[in-house]
């Protein structure tokens, strides 16, 4: 999904490992794995980002610490997530 105003794209990319897809943010010519923005001990694996709004908030699906399959997520940017490295 493209946010034209912010010049950002979110989606999913195929990777190797236990989870074949990871959610990503493409901004300012750089691809950022959204899982790098979540605490490693949170229990979340974000595998698909489906939309981004003008505030930079990202929604999608992932596996969380709750049981019974995938869950929706809302990722709200901070100063660090505004400019992926």
**What is the secondary structure of 11-63 as a DSSP string?**
EEEE-SSSSSEEEEEEETTEEEEGGGGS-GGG--EEEEEEEE-TT--EEEEEE
d(CA 68, CA 81): 29
For the segment 15-35, the average pLDDT, to the nearest whole number, is: 87
Our count of domains for the chain comes to 1
pLDDT of residue 52: 95
pTM of the model: 0.79
Residues 31-56 have pLDDT tens digits of: 999 999 998 898 899 999 999 998 99
d(CA 57, CA 78): 10
């Amino acid at each position: 999904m493209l946010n034209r105003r912010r010049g950002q794209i979110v989606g999913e990319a195929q990777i190797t490992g236990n989870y074949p897809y990871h959610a990503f943010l493409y901004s300012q010519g750089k691809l950022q794995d959204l899982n790098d923005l979540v605490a490693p001990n949170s229990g979340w694996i974000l595998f698909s980002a489906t939309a981004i709004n003008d505030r930079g908030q990202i929604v999608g699906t992932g596996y969380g610490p709750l049981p019974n399959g995938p869950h929706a997520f809302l990722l709200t940017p901070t100063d660090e997530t505004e400019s992926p490295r």
